[in-house]
Amino acid sequence: MNRLSSERLSMHTFFRAVTLVAVTIGFIACATPPKPRELDTLEKLRSDPSLPAARKKSPDLCKKGDKMLADATAKWQSNDLDDSVRASLLGTIFFRHALALTDQDKASARIADAEDALGATAEEQEKVQKELDDTNEKIGLLKKLNEKTALLMAEESSKNEAAKKAEEERKALEAQMEADKKAMGEKMAASDKVSDAELALKTAETVNAPKYAPELYKAAAEILARAQSDLAKGELIAAQTSADIAKKKADEAAAAAKPSYDKDAQAENNRKLADAIFADASRIAGIKARRDVRGNLQRLILAIPADMLFVKKQTVLAPGLGTVLDPIAELIRKKDYQSFPVQVVGHTDSKGKDSAMLALSAARAQSVFNALVTRGVDVRRMMSSGQGGAEPIADGRTAQGRALNHRVEIIFLYQ
């Protein structure tokens, strides 16, 4: 009786242990995977302080971005990482597109302000020109007075005293006219200097000097304000001096800001192109697209399984296979992506001699290279190589893993 009770107790303990192990395994299987980096990027972008303005400008794009964020979150929480990454990238494209449209409106507003300022300057120059014309008209009247004075002196020699007084008046008027003309010239010269400095500062703003060269831009703006004040008070020499310095500072700010402005603009353009080409590549059936960062160099990798191109250990494309290269060639030839160099890299598993696997991978890469050339890809954009089994993407201890490691990768390179 004691023996039977002991056996029952042992069996009961065994079943409890099995049940505990099963529950533990189920809990581990249901755990949420780590959040994809693309989803984290999308969430941060949705919190961008500039996004509320973008929502007013491009509500449809932002609604699409919100939907992609919701889809990406749901896919992540349901363990569907590939769909989560794809939705995250599409959402990022929508939000960045909306932000770019808002930035474009801001740039247009800055240009409009610059045009208004130039218009005001033109009005001031027109006013000065009118004053100069009035002075020239007075000079013309003075010439007529000179002629009349000469005639009176010739006809009435007895009126020498009157003629002398008229001559003195003429000389005084002539001196006054010359002084007025000189003053108008100096005022116009100072006004031109200030206008040149204003234009230089507006030019610096077109390359976002307030952001990329803030100290130089601030100095130019302050000195220009001083020049405008001096001009308004009639201190023309001081106005010209300050305007010259302001223009020089504004030119320096523009020159200092332009490389960073161009670099950021190019980087932003490259990011947009990278997002677009990843989205296009993700739609090609039978291949898996992924991104890889190596220092400043970024890569978009399209992995083609070897069995979609070759039979067994062959290095020549098999008849009836290789149709996946048609959409890939079309993607490489697309006008928007022609600035991206392309690598064709062959890979194998690690089962076999290293030299043989290296030769097999290089030969297969060259076959794909040649096939892309026959499909219209510029040979100067591409290079091919073989890595053998040096870069596996799956467990080489299983047949399935070895099959995945046998592949040819098409790699787009960009900064």
Instruction: Determine the Cα–Cα distance for residues 69 and 66; give it in Å rounded to an integer.
Output: 5
Please state whether the predicted TM-score (pTM) of the whole model is above 0.75: no
Cβ proximity of 309 and 406 under 8 Å: no
Question: What is the maximal distance between C-alpha atoms in the chain?
Answer: 168
What pLDDT score does 3 carry? 55
What pLDDT score does 8 carry? 55
* pLDDT confidence band for 163 (50 / 70 / 90): low
Instruction: Determine the Cα–Cα distance for residues 226 and 243; give it in Å rounded to an integer.
Output: 8
Q: What is the CA radius of gyration of the chain?
A: 39
What pLDDT score does 19 carry? 46
Long-range contacts of 176-184 (CB under 8 A, 24+ apart): 177/135, 177/138, 177/139, 177/142, 180/135, 180/138, 181/132, 181/135, 181/136, 181/139, 184/128, 184/131, 184/132, 184/135
Count CB neighbours of 221 within 10 A: 20
CA nearest 201: which of 239, 250, 259?
A: 250
If you average pLDDT over residues 15-23, what whole number do you get?
46
Strand, coil or helix: 57: helix
What pLDDT score does 2 carry? 54
Instruction: Determine the Cα–Cα distance for residues 89 and 87; give it in Å rounded to an integer.
Output: 5
Residues 6 or more apart whose Cβ sits within 8 Å of residue 179: none
Please give the share of the chain, as a percent, with pLDDT higher than 70. 90
CA nearest 153: which of 162, 144, 145?
A: 162
Tell me the pLDDT tens digit for each residue of 332-352. Answer: 999 999 889 999 999 999 888
Tell me the pLDDT tens digit for each residue of 180-214. Answer: 778 778 888 999 999 999 999 999 899 898 998 99
Second-level CATH architecture of 284-415: 2-Layer Sandwich (3.30)
Burial of 76: CB neighbours in 10 Å, binned 0-12, 13-18, 19+: buried
If you average pLDDT over residues 236-248, what whole number do you get?
93
What pLDDT score does 111 carry? 78
